[in-house]
Chains A and B, each alone.
Chain A
């Protein structure tokens, strides 16, 4: 019986429910940690109960009641009052799913800084420990723990509500939630430094996106985000070769792709199309659906989708990605013209793309220069090795 996986799966759910019952994230975390400590002792003898989440919630609640009786701070009195107000709650229901949704909107509140949003989401909903988050973002543990402490303090002091925003607020409040999940996934997929993949972060992002999609099945952008993550995740097994080297989409062995995830992603994209309320995540999901459909990519369709995406999100990064499709449809010269004006400071994929286009146009000297620039900017080892390899294969 793997207690770690039970803890990882139940932590966020239990903290979310206890936060509602106690009205305070810090007290909720303490109570859940207390309950896990009891579980560790008890379950090693008796094995885990049938519904570990319900057991943890009940135990945490009892522990919190005991603890609050001994304390007399303002928070403790407030929490005690809240607990008394909810006496009729059936004991064994366990974690309530809406609580998770509340908590994710609290964690990703726009009044918190982006790093605090991400760290808090991973800590509270993902159940990741501070050192794990610090490792993933390559920042000192003290930085992450200060951010988390400060964010929790601000939530309490400034009165950030523990509530799912109303329909009218959603257009402002949903995007930061989706951004946080996407950033967590991306950090796991192309780590900014060190080795290429950090599977645990991606898996966590997929798990949270799945939970969000179950909780908000009528929000097409939520479904779009989940589809996008699944369709990228599906190609992971083919993305790195036997020696740890990066394999481009065109060169990937498609038989290694995860067919189940692709089918699920395609199904979600079709559901989005039927809703006909397109948004940036849905379009990116559609692009990845085209990449994973049949035996080769229909680039004309990809370009059409990028045209739509560029209208909705006219950023230089989208323009750069669109140029890759332009190269396939209209040739490298047209693509090079399309990226000529772009300026994305510090982003290695701009010179990398320019280098590739120049190489295809048989302009090796300029390509070499662009590859050098890209190598200098690339953060992770695998991407750097890939670029050096390309550079080495340039015609002299």
Chain B
């Protein structure tokens, strides 16, 4: 099964110092290496803050673009991993490593496997 491990970040929280960010990247890099060594890593990436987002809609044939995130919530998706795993227990074990590495909560979501 494929799982997304989504990084839930609070964008209103104070920004990291350079040192904090470097240390976090080092920890996340180590987890990524471990995932690759286990052969379960499919994809991962960090996202820029939601103020860089644009929402696209088509209504009655007209395309509209809106500046900013889809929902005005404090918590946003800050990045994610996509992993190939046997079951939820494996996903939860990796999520634990990920939350320790990046210091914020991780949301585990299974893919529907349809596409």
Contacts and interface: CB of A to CB of B under 8 A. Distances in A.
Interface of A: 109, 111, 157-161, 163, 165, 169
18 contacts: A109-B88, A111-B88, A111-B92, A157-B112, A158-B88, A158-B110, A159-B1, A159-B85, A159-B86, A159-B88, A159-B91, A159-B110, A160-B87, A160-B89, A161-B87, A161-B88, A163-B87, A163-B89
Given A157-B110, A157-B112, 5 more contacts: A111-B92, A158-B108, A159-B1, A163-B89, A169-B89
A160 B85 CA distance: 12
Nearest to A74: B113
B89 A161 contact: yes
A152 to B, nearest CB: 14
Interface of B: 1, 3, 85-89, 91-92, 108, 110, 112
Nearest to A155: B88
Contacts of B86: 159, 161
A308 to B, nearest CB: 30
A107 to B, nearest CB: 14
Nearest to B110: A158
Contacts of B89: 160-161, 163, 165, 169
Contacts of A111: 88, 92
A196 to B, nearest CB: 39
Consensus secondary structure, chain A interface: loop
B82 to A, nearest CB: 15
Contacts of B87: 159-161, 163
Contacts of B1: 159
Contacts of B3: 159
Contacts of B91: 159
A158 B89 CA distance: 10
B85 to A, nearest CB: 8
A110 to B, nearest CB: 8
B14 to A, nearest CB: 31
Contacts of A157: 110, 112
A103 to B, nearest CB: 15
Nearest to A173: B89
Nearest to A169: B89
A165 B88 CA distance: 12
A158 B91 CA distance: 10
Which 7 pairs between the two chains have the least Cβ-Cβ distance? A161-B87, A159-B87, A159-B88, A159-B1, A160-B88, A158-B88, A158-B110
Nearest to A165: B89
A161 B85 CA distance: 12
Give the residue among B89, B92, B110, B112 with the most A Cβ atoms within 10 A. B89
Nearest to A109: B88
A120 to B, nearest CB: 15
A312 to B, nearest CB: 24
Contacts of A109: 88
A11 B73 CA distance: 46
Contacts of B88: 109, 111, 158-161
Contacts of A158: 88, 108, 110
A111 B107 CA distance: 11
Nearest to B113: A74
A308 B100 CA distance: 32
Contacts of B108: 158
Contacts of A161: 86-89
A276 to B, nearest CB: 30
A20 to B, nearest CB: 15
Contacts of B112: 157
A165 B92 CA distance: 13
A169 B86 CA distance: 16
A158 B87 CA distance: 8
B83 to A, nearest CB: 12
A161 B1 CA distance: 12
A111 to B, nearest CB: 6
